[in-house]
């Protein structure tokens, strides 16, 4: 071996060592294709400015309290798996988590019962019907459909262990709070408003009972579910909850392992198929990021291994998805190559 090649071999080994040290120092949770802080800040501001004055859509009003929320509120937060937080707009304004709670109710049910048991009991097929469809409960093979339609979510809430409905609710609230890294609480006005008007969900629970697809008292399960939907979160807190999923179930800010890592792909795959109601197929086609929407105006999008983005803006489209949130997430995803179906999302061009 001549001295030039042995020198270059030595240099190569040194370089490889440096790369290993550098990537370890950057932290195991930093994605190798993570955008720079400056890129995040610039693109976040563009996403905010581009859609700030968009007045398309309208607040949900079938839950009367939601119609009262200021429809101009708009906030965007991104939390990365290495614990960085980027935010702009009304990111500290609490709003009701609504259907996004279904993601974390599913996560707790799987913690307690195991993923396969939950899959057998609830299912994971898209219904192709509105999220609160009563005919779908009759027609779907598991009747519950999937964990992100009302029937599936009420059935999933009925799986949470506890001697009383209160005990189940408190467990859910504690679990959501761990994912958010802070104590969350119930928005009483939203809860009372929905509890006074949720005859459709009560009907769903009785049909589930007819098919033996609800696993606790039907009306009590609807009540636990309604409370879960009425938990208040800010866009900032919701982004932390999403980042916990992006980070293999470990909250990147508190370091707590909240969700078993093996359950995360099940949670995200269900989001991909049914996270945005009847807009889920279009969302997968155009944006390609697992996300979950709520009629309170929030959407959380999870970029596995990278982080999560949460947007709050109350006006909804026909399917029930926040108009500005969809546009802001689609913009950021496109600018930062976050579409998980694109090889560019892992740095391959
Ligand atoms: N609590 C709402 C309901 O049951 C949740 C709807 C949603 O955000 O999709 O109708």
Short-list 322, 294, 271, CA closest to 225? 294
Asked whether the beta carbons of 260 and 216 are under 8 A apart, the reply is no
Report pLDDT digits (tens) over 297-313. 999 999 999 999 999 99
Phi/psi for 313 (5° steps) reads: -160, 110
Dist. CA 106 → ligand 1 center (Å)? 15
Q: Which fold has domain 1-349?
A: Beta-lactamase (3.40.710)
Q: Classify each residue of 219-255 as buried b or exposed e, where b means 16 or more C-beta atoms within 10 Å of its C-beta.
A: ebbbbbbbbbbbbbbbbbbbbbbbbbbbbbbbbbbbe
Mean pLDDT of 198-227: 98
Choice among 19-28, 218-227, 248-257, 268-277 with the minimum mean pLDDT: 19-28
DSSP state string for 23-79: HHHT-TTS-TTPPPHHHHHHHHHHHHHHHTT---SB---SSHHHHTS-TT--EEEEE
Residue 182's SS3 state is: coil
Model confidence band, residue 1 (pLDDT cutoffs 50, 70, 90): very low
Cα–Cα–Cα angle for 151, 157, 161, rounded to 5 degrees: 150
The answer, yes or no, to whether residue 2 has pLDDT greater than 60, is no
Choice among 22-31, 113-122, 123-132, 165-174 with the minimum mean pLDDT: 22-31
Ligand 1 atom index nearest CA of 295 = 8
The answer, yes or no, to whether residue 9 has pLDDT greater than 50, is no
**What percent of the chain has a predicted confidence (pLDDT) above 90?**
90
State if residue 223 touches ligand 1 by the CB under 6 angstroms criterion. Answer: no
The residue whose C-alpha atom lies closest to atom 9 belonging to ligand 1 is 99
Helix, strand, coil % in the chain, rounded to nearest 5: 50, 10, 35
Mean pLDDT of the chain: 93
Dist. CA 184 → ligand 1 center (Å)? 19
State if residue 229 touches ligand 1 by the CB under 6 angstroms criterion. Answer: yes
Mean pLDDT of 32-47: 94
Q: How far is CA 19 from CA 15, 188, 233, in A?
A: 6, 52, 40
| Domain assignments of the chain as residue spans, ordered by start | 1-349
Short-list 198, 224, 231, CA closest to 62? 198
State residue 27's pLDDT score: 52
The residue whose C-alpha atom lies closest to atom 4 belonging to ligand 1 is 150
Dist. CA 60 → ligand 1 center (Å)? 10
- Could you tell which of 59, 60, 61, 63 is best to mutate to test the pocket of ligand 1, judged by most ligand atoms within 8 Å of the CB? 63
State if residue 131 touches ligand 1 by the CB under 6 angstroms criterion. Answer: yes
- Could you tell which of 98, 130, 227, 279 is best to mutate to test the pocket of ligand 1, judged by most ligand atoms within 8 Å of the CB? 98
State if residue 98 touches ligand 1 by the CB under 6 angstroms criterion. Answer: yes
- Distance between CA atoms of residues 139 and 133, nearest Å: 10
Asked whether the beta carbons of 49 and 37 are under 8 A apart, the reply is no
Tokens of 93: 């304004």
Ligand 1 atom index nearest CA of 99 = 8
Report pLDDT digits (tens) over 108-152. 999 999 999 999 999 999 999 999 999 999 999 999 999 999 999
The answer, yes or no, to whether residue 102 has pLDDT greater than 70, is yes
Dist. CA 41 → ligand 1 center (Å)? 32
- Distance between CA atoms of residues 271 and 291, nearest Å: 6
DSSP H or E stretch at residue 232: strand 231-233
Asked whether the beta carbons of 213 and 142 are under 8 A apart, the reply is yes
HSE-CB of 15 using CA atoms within 13 angstroms: 6
- pTM listed for this prediction: 0.92
State if residue 247 touches ligand 1 by the CB under 6 angstroms criterion. Answer: no
State if residue 294 touches ligand 1 by the CB under 6 angstroms criterion. Answer: yes
- Distance between CA atoms of residues 290 and 50, nearest Å: 23
Model confidence band, residue 163 (pLDDT cutoffs 50, 70, 90): very high
Residue reference for tokens 């009367």: 64
Ligand 1 atom index nearest CA of 226 = 1
The answer, yes or no, to whether residue 64 has pLDDT greater than 80, is yes
Asked whether the beta carbons of 332 and 345 are under 8 A apart, the reply is no
Mean pLDDT of 311-323: 97
Residue 240's SS3 state is: helix
DSSP E strand boundaries for 127-202: 185-186
User: Which residues share a beta bridge with 86?
Assistant: 78
Q: How far is CA 344 from CA 48, 179, 180, 288, 336, in A?
A: 24, 29, 29, 12, 9
State if residue 248 touches ligand 1 by the CB under 6 angstroms criterion. Answer: no
Dist. CA 4 → ligand 1 center (Å)? 69
- Distance between CA atoms of residues 233 and 310, nearest Å: 11
């Amino acid at each position: 071996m001549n001295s030039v090649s042995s020198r270059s071999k030595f240099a190569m080994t040194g370089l490889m060592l440096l790369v290993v040290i550098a990537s370890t120092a950057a932290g195991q949770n930093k994605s190798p294709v993570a955008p720079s802080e400056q890129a995040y800040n610039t693109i976040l501001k563009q996403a905010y400015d581009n859609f700030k004055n968009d007045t398309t859509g309208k607040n949900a009003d079938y839950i009367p309290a939601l119609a009262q929320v200021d429809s101009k509120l708009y906030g965007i937060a991104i939390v990365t798996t290495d614990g960085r937080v980027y935010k702009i707009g009304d990111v500290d304004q609490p709003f009701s988590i609504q259907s996004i709670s279904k993601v974390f109710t599913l996560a707790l049910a799987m913690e307690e019962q195991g993923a396969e048991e939950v899959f057998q009991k609830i299912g994971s097929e898209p219904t192709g019907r509105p999220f609160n469809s009563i005919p779908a409960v009759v027609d779907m093979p598991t009747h519950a459909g999937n964990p992100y339609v009302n029937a599936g979510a009420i059935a999933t809430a009925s799986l949470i262990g506890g001697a009383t409905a209160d005990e189940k609710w408190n467990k859910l609230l504690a679990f959501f709070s761990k994912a958010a890294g802070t104590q969350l609480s119930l928005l009483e006005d939203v809860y009372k408003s929905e509890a006074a008007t949720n005859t459709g969900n009560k009907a769903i629970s009785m049909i589930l009972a007819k098919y033996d697809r609800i696993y606790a008292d039907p009306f009590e399960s609807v009540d636990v579910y309604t409370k879960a939907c009425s938990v208040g979160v800010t866009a900032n807190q919701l982004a932390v909850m999403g980042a916990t999923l992006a980070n293999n179930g470990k909250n990147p800010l508190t370091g707590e392992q909240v969700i078993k890592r093996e359950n995360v792909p099940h949670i995200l795959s269900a989001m991909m198929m049914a996270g945005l109601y009847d807009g889920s197929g279009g969302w997968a086609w155009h944006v390609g990021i697992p996300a979950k929407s709520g009629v309170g105006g929030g959407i959380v999008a999870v970029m596995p291994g990278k982080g999560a983005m949460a947007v709050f803006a109350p006006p909804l489209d026909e399917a029930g998805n926040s108009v500005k949130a969809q546009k802001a997430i689609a913009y950021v995803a496109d600018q930062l190559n976050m579409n998980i179906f694109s090889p560019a999302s892992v740095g391959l061009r």
